[in-house]
Amino acid sequence: MEKQDVLLNVQNLRTWFNTPEGVVKSVNGVSFHVDRGETLALVGESGCGKTVTTLSLMKLLGKNSVVTADELTLNGRDIRALSKEEARKIRGKEISMIFQEPMTSLNPVYRIQRQLGEMLRIHNPGISRTEVHRRSVDILRKVGVPNPDERLKVFPHQLSGGLRQRVMIAIALASNPAMVIADEPTTALDVTIQAQVIDLLKELQRDFNTSILLITHDFGVVSQLANRVAVMYAGKIVEEGPLKDVIERPLHPYTELLILSIPGIKVKKGGRLRTIEGQVPNPLYFPEGCRFHPRCPSACDRCHREEPPQITIGGQTVSCWLRAEEGQYDT
């Protein structure tokens, strides 16, 4: 890929929180990039740092946070240097965010009409009222909202959960942003509507060359949308590579286990579902050596003591001692 194709570039991102318990190191040296028109999926279990990573990019974290990075650029511009006000302008216009919890981004006191209209006007100043209405109806229909005319007139609490999620997606996409960050965008949706939303994201990508950073635990959604996959564990990216390679030939034991825990591999009814043994470690006390070693079925002595280096094997990168002999060390 040529350098100018990179829309978002993140190098060595660290996000720490000062809390009464101590310093919580939620994101620890994460690097990735998203090209124009590309979808990168960020996957990993709950608490591994996915949402904090995206909130750091959007400057949406509270005062107790410390964000550092070697590089943090959107479209060649340094995000770190932006003032709060400049960052606010970029959100919505250049980057749009679909949040994990819909009510965080919908304003409870305004009708949908107004919230959607506002986004359309940001992108098309001077647009007429009838045009705003026409486009609002159009985009709601595209995200699978039945009777869009009726829905425009209601407040968020009058919508069902699934409708709320679709309305939020419509608002995020209304301004044709260059980059969409979608945090678990389709989880509240029926399969059929989920497919509709995925199609819409693809259409947007095709028509406007939109880049998507997709955060999800659903490998089904990943496989329909992503070009590349980055797997995150305990504040770090442990494997990254093209979708097909990662799914067909996961190099990291964690990636392999994640793929194995996809439901559909049925257990006896009422029995216990398969999970990856143990829990994501508390960011206050990460284990020594490889952070995955307490849960890793292949851990050896060295894994307990030394952190594995990042290794490139073909188009994939991985941080695991098992692969140390197979590829090239990255420096």
Partner 1 sequence: MTHDPLIDIQDLQVHFPIKGGLLRRTAGVVKAVDHVSFQIDKNETVGLVGESGCGKSTVGRAIVRLNEATGGKILYQDQDILSLRGEALRKLRHNLQIVFQDPYSSLNPRYTVKRLIAEVLTVQKGYSTSEAYKRVGELLERVGLNPIYAERYPHEFSGGQRQRVAIAKALALEPEFIVCDEAVSALDVSIQSQIINLLTDLKEKYGIAYLFISHALNVIEHISDRVVVMYLGSVMELSETEELFLHPLHPYTRALISAIPMLSGREQRERIVLKGDVPSAANVPPGCRFHTRCPYACDRCRTEQPAMRQAAPGHYVACHQV
Ligand X SMILES: Nc1ncnc2c1ncn2[C@@H]1O[C@H](COP(=O)(O)OP(=O)(O)OP(=O)(O)O)[C@@H](O)[C@H]1O
233 binds ligand SF4 (CB under 6 A): no
From the list 147, 298, 301, 326, which residue makes contact with ligand SF4 (rule: CB under 6 A)? Answer: 298
Q: Which of ligand X, Mg ion, ligand SF4, none binds 293 (CB below 5-8 Å, type-dependent)?
A: ligand SF4
311 binds ligand SF4 (CB under 6 A): no
Residue closest to 146 by CA, chosen among 192, 100, 198:
192
Q: How far is the CB of 152 from partner 1 (least distance, A)?
A: 12
Q: How far is the CB of 302 from partner 1 (least distance, A)?
A: 26
Residues that bind ligand X (CB under 6 A): 17, 19, 24, 26, 44, 46-52, 62, 100, 157-163, 283
Q: How many CB atoms are located within 10 Å of the residue 327 CB? A: 16
From the list 292, 310, 311, 317, which residue makes contact with ligand SF4 (rule: CB under 6 A)? Answer: 292
Q: How far is the CB of 188 from Mg ion (least distance, A)?
A: 8
Q: Which of ligand SF4, ligand X, partner 1, none binds 322 (CB below 5-8 Å, type-dependent)?
A: ligand SF4
- Please, which residue, 49 or 117, has the CB nearer to ligand X? 49
Task: Tell which positions 126-155 bind ligand SF4, by CB under 6 A.
Answer: none
Q: How far is the CB of 252 from Mg ion (least distance, A)?
A: 21
CB 15 within 8 A of CB 27: yes
In one-letter notation, the amino acid at residue 121 is R
Residue closest to 318 by CA, chosen among 259, 261, 233:
233
Residue nearest to Mg ion (CB): 51
From the list 66, 82, 198, 299, which residue makes contact with ligand SF4 (rule: CB under 6 A)? Answer: 299
Q: What's the rounded Cα separation, in Å, for the pair 93 and 75?
A: 13
- Please, which residue, 51 or 210, has the CB nearer to Mg ion? 51
- Please, which residue, 164 or 323, has the CB nearer to Mg ion? 164
Q: What's the rounded Cα separation, in Å, for the pair 177 and 120?
A: 11
Residue closest to 214 by CA, chosen among 195, 238, 198:
198
Q: Which of partner 1, ligand SF4, Mg ion, none binds 263 (CB below 5-8 Å, type-dependent)?
A: partner 1
Residue numbers of the site for ligand SF4 (CB under 6 A)? 252-253, 290, 292-293, 296, 298-299, 303, 308, 320-322
